[in-house]
């Protein structure tokens, strides 16, 4: 099984997965409808806070993209325009997932075999950073069964890092993650935009305040 993974990864044209290929083609028009936001736009700020919360809750793996009609700094690879002319996004997702599985198998005693794609997000960072969620089966187990895995993969040419490869956290584990509000957004011509937790009755994770009330310049300057 491990050899078959290596063969698919090294193939110049990774095998297409019809279901994945169709999903990428049909949903790609969604990105064409997205717009660029600015900090002067209250609706963009509201959507940004929702995105920020989901991103940090799931470490970038699970985003409800249907909630957003603005571009964010991380995007859905399933919905993106083709990133290159040489291969489809579906092929890129499949290739990177197999690559992550291969490297994980080399580093452990596991013999994971890819089963099915679930979700893929990406970001340009001196190369490409991928967040991949997929079904896989460990055939070295006495009772192999498909489970949901997640891998965070950075690729640039022959360089790579895989800082996360794990079973998808449970809902209880995700719920237990505490997300801090974003750092103040400094505007030198207007009061800084402040972010704080919303009350449970508001139905949103964070709220923003354009008055700069409570702004601490020392805190802002010391923040990363």
pTM above 0.85, yes or no: no
Question: Do 85 and 170 fall within a single domain?
Answer: yes
Question: Do 189 and 96 fall within a single domain?
Answer: no
Does residue 55 fall inside a structural domain? no
- Indicate the DSSP class of residue 65: G
Does residue 100 fall inside a structural domain? yes
Task: Report the 10 Å Cβ neighbour count for 48.
Answer: 22
The predicted structure's pLDDT at residue 68:
95
pLDDT in tens, the chain (224 residues): 334 343 333 333 334 444 565 556 554 556 778 999 999 999 999 999 999 999 999 999 999 999 999 999 999 999 999 998 899 999 999 999 999 999 999 999 889 999 999 999 999 999 999 999 999 999 988 888 999 999 999 999 899 999 999 999 999 999 999 999 999 988 778 899 999 999 877 788 999 999 987 666 555 444 43
The predicted structure's pLDDT at residue 20:
60
Question: Do 125 and 170 fall within a single domain?
Answer: yes
Widest pairwise Cα distance in the chain: 64
Does residue 65 fall inside a structural domain? no
Does residue 218 fall inside a structural domain? yes
Q: Which of 154, 174, 194 is the last residue of a domain?
A: 174
**CA 200, CA 47: separation in Å to the nearest integer?**
18
Q: Total domain count for the chain? A: 2
Q: Which of 174, 190, 208 is the last residue of a domain?
A: 174
The predicted structure's pLDDT at residue 218:
57
Does residue 98 fall inside a structural domain? yes
Q: Which residues span the domain enclosing 20? A: 2-32+77-174
Check: CB of residue 22 under 8 Å from CB of residue 16: no
**CA quadruple 56, 94, 80, 174: dihedral, nearest 10:** -20
Task: Report the 10 Å Cβ neighbour count for 155.
Answer: 18
**CA 16, CA 132: separation in Å to the nearest integer?**
17
**CA 220, CA 215: separation in Å to the nearest integer?**
8
- Give the distance from CA 174 to its chain's centroid: 15
Q: What is the CATH number of the domain that holds 83?
A: 3.10.450.10
The predicted structure's pLDDT at residue 200:
77
The predicted structure's pLDDT at residue 109:
87
Check: CB of residue 135 under 8 Å from CB of residue 161: no
The predicted structure's pLDDT at residue 31:
75
């Amino acid at each position: 099984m491990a050899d078959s993974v290596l063969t698919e990864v090294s193939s110049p044209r990774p095998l297409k997965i019809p279901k994945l290929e169709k999903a990428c083609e049909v949903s790609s028009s969604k990105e064409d409808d997205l717009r660029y936001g600015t900090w002067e736009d209250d609706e963009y700020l509201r959507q940004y806070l929702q995105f920020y919360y989901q991103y940090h809750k799931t470490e970038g793996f699970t985003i409800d993209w249907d909630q957003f009609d603005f571009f964010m700094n991380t995007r859905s690879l399933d919905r993106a325009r083709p990133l290159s002319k040489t291969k489809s996004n579906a092929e890129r997702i499949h290739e990177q997932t197999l690559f992550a599985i291969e490297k994980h198998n080399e580093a452990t005693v596991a013999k994971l075999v890819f089963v099915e794609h679930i979700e893929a997000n990406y970001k340009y960072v001196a190369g490409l950073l991928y967040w991949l969620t997929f079904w896989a089966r460990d055939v070295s187990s006495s009772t192999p069964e498909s489970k949901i895995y997640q891998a965070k993969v950075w690729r640039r040419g022959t360089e790579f890092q895989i800082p996360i490869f794990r079973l998808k956290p449970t809902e209880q584990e995700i719920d237990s993650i505490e997300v801090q509000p974003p750092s103040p957004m400094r505007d030198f011509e207007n009061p800084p935009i402040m972010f704080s937790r919303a009350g449970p009755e508001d139905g949103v994770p964070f709220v923003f305040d354009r008055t700069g009330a409570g702004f601490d310049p020392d805190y802002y300057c010391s923040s990363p």
